[in-house]
Structure 1
Amino acid sequence: MDLKKHLAFIKTVESGSLTQAAAILNYTQPNISQMISKLEEEYGFPLLIRQRHGVRPTANGLKVLHIMKEIQKNYEKLSETVDNINGLERGEVRLGTVTSVAVKWLPKILREFNELYPSIKVHLFEGNSTELEEWLKDDRIDAAIGTSHSEKWYFYPLAEDPIVAVMSPQHELAQCETVPLHVMESVKCIVPYPETHFDVLKVLKEEKITPRVAYQIRGDEAIIAMVRNNLGISILPQLLVNDCDVLIKRFDRYVSRQLGILTAHAKETQTPSVQKLIQCIQEWVAVHQASV
């Protein structure tokens, strides 16, 4: 069994390109093409459909892709376990994260993690909740920090993040100590799309509130900039808007999202590197939770 060929096929499918797979794995494009051709000869059926603008897996290619990924993952776990037994702490982790965590938590967490485990490399993937769950499903990441909307993932809670009203100091509600949730129906609102902030819109849906939408935007920075210019108020997670030069007001009823670590597999079955990173994240948040 040649794991290099498996990895060449996996990366080609993930990137949709022989050239990109070659760049990721530090091979030439002909090398990647040759490895996949040899796999096709060994298996007796095509794995890829070669198109003008890239490649995609055949139906049979998809059937073996998942098994190849499991073999690759188990091999990585074996290698890391052997290294750990021999006193060597090295490996790689693919971590997905929502934007607010990437900005507010991860720089400090990764600094501590790098000091503890300098030979473990962490690859970061920033995305919204929908993208993180898609990447977990496709095994493109080992773990994610975000919120869970499905019971199919293992979920390790980290902290509650209040969902708050965000506004300009010049807004008519700026003097209010708290903001009634129902006021979202009467003032101009700048709201995110469901796929970017599912938890925010879930709160509005549960409270049967239909906001008076002035603008609907995907980008967090754009929402905050428009709020800062008093084009409306918004409803966002507090972790995202801390230190953003806008007024933050709690609602008259406490609402929040639950941040945690999501994995497709139980923590104890992950590679030692993934287990170490999960432990580091949990310990850091436990110590700093009051200040985040």
Structure 2
Amino acid sequence: MTLLTYQVFKTVSEMGSFHKAASVLGLTPSAISHAISSMENELGFSVLTRNKAGVTLTNYGEHILPYVNAVLNSDESLKQVVAEFKGLKQGTVKIGCFSSACTSWMPDIINSFTEIYPAIRIEVFQGTYDDVIYWIKNGVVDFGFLSQSSSGDLNFEPIYRDPLLCITPANFEKEEGTEMTAEEMSKSQFVVQRESTDADIANYMKSVNLDPQSNYHVVDDLSTIAMVAHGFGICIMPELVMHDITYEVKRYPIADAERMIGLSCLNPQFMAPAVRTLYQHIKENYSNL
């Protein structure tokens, strides 16, 4: 099998369509179909399931995709090493990040980095903590932003300490003091998010035995805050999320509640030159963001 075959397989799996993959790669749909058929004949099993809605990975296809990604990433690394030998800085870096890191930091990181290294292209993949972990482990991205509590067995480089805040409707009347306690929060209805979205908040709640009662289970930060602003309950939110929020809400600090944000990867010792350059750029210029 050729590198083009691997690229075709990866692109089809991402696009879910032969026609879309053909458009991305500049090939004809028949060429895409032929490449996949040849791949399946050589492997001896099907890697894609074809139906009217498009194509999906078979169980075999899901298992070999990480290895295909590894081959393509190795080819990219080789190209970057050769370019580095020639005194050039070029290549593609794929970085995964969760919502608040993407909106608060990535625009400035991309602008400051490309100003120095215009030949290095950055691809951004936004998702939940679980998405970023999956992308790192399966070679979809080179490294990503995660919280320390969610990084698991991945290498973790601390970057930013992010306090957790209690967010309440604007008309909320606090009993006393400026800090919100777990006991006070336990008396209120909550708006909560999926655990993969706010694992750090879920961990904090478990640590203080806070079992929130809620009728509202949402996914994104803005929806959560909107529900709070309209009086449907309170929530706990990282301070970083609240930087550009315009909803009228109150924000209360919580004692000893924070998340540590950093960079995660499989192994920082084995990075392609362009990947290592961006990784170091973030470490050196954006610590304590």
TM-score by length of 1: 0.89
The 3-state SS of whatever aligns with 1:267 is coil
- 1:180 and 2:181 correspond: yes
Matched ranges for 1:68-79 at <5 A: 68-79=68-79
Per-residue CA shift, 1:246-272, capped at 9, x if unaligned?
Answer: 332111x22111111121x21121211
CA distance in structure 2 between the aligned counterparts of 1:282 and 1:175, rounded to whole angstroms: 40
CA distance in structure 2 between the aligned counterparts of 1:189 and 1:147, rounded to whole angstroms: 23
Q: Of 242, 250, 255, which aligns to 2:253? A: 250
User: Residues 66 and 213 (structure 1 numbering): CA distance in 2 closer, same or farther, change over 3 Å?
Assistant: closer
Per-residue CA shift, 1:22-74, capped at 9, x if unaligned?
Answer: 23323222121122223334445544333332234455545544433222111
Aligned residue number for residue 263 of structure 2: 261
User: Residues 66 and 219 (structure 1 numbering): CA distance in 2 closer, same or farther, change over 3 Å?
Assistant: closer
8 Å Cα contact 2:70/2:139 also seen in 1: no
Per-residue CA shift, 1:199-246, capped at 9, x if unaligned?
Answer: 101100111111232533222111112222333221011100123243
8 Å Cα contact 2:190/2:233 also seen in 1: yes
Amino acid at match of 2:132: L
Aligned residue number for residue 228 of structure 2: 227
The 3-state SS of whatever aligns with 2:190 is strand
CA distance in structure 1 between the aligned counterparts of 2:113 and 2:213, rounded to whole angstroms: 44
8 Å Cα contact 1:184/1:212 also seen in 2: no
Matched ranges for 1:1-292 at <5 A: 2-58=2-58, 60-62=60-62, 64-148=64-148, 149-173=150-174, 176-213=177-214, 215-245=216-246, 246-251=249-254, 253-263=255-265, 265-286=266-287, 289=288, 292=289
Q: What's the CA shift for 1:284? A: 2.3
8 Å Cα contact 1:95/1:144 also seen in 2: yes
Structure 1 stretches of 4+ moved >3 Å: 40-49, 56-67
Per-residue CA shift, 1:71-103, capped at 9, x if unaligned?
Answer: 211111010110111122111111111111111
8 Å Cα contact 1:46/1:61 also seen in 2: yes
CA distance in structure 2 between the aligned counterparts of 1:187 and 1:243, rounded to whole angstroms: 25
Amino acid at match of 1:205: K
8 Å Cα contact 1:214/1:232 also seen in 2: no
CA distance in structure 2 between the aligned counterparts of 1:79 and 1:202, rounded to whole angstroms: 42
The 3-state SS of whatever aligns with 1:255 is strand
CA distance in structure 1 between the aligned counterparts of 2:132 and 2:242, rounded to whole angstroms: 21
Number of aligned pairs? 286
8 Å Cα contact 1:174/1:247 also seen in 2: no
8 Å Cα contact 1:184/1:210 also seen in 2: no
Q: What's the CA shift for 1:174? A: 8.9
CA distance in structure 2 between the aligned counterparts of 1:59 and 1:189, rounded to whole angstroms: 39
Amino acid at match of 1:134: Y
CA distance in structure 2 between the aligned counterparts of 1:56 and 1:212, rounded to whole angstroms: 38
Structure 1 portions without partners, runs of 5+: none
Q: What's the CA shift for 1:117? A: 1.0
8 Å Cα contact 1:114/1:120 also seen in 2: yes
The 3-state SS of whatever aligns with 1:208 is coil
8 Å Cα contact 1:192/1:218 also seen in 2: yes
Structure 2 portions without partners, runs of 5+: none
The 3-state SS of whatever aligns with 1:212 is coil
Per-residue CA shift, 1:264-286, capped at 9, x if unaligned?
Answer: x2112121111111111112222
CA distance in structure 2 between the aligned counterparts of 1:70 and 1:212, rounded to whole angstroms: 44
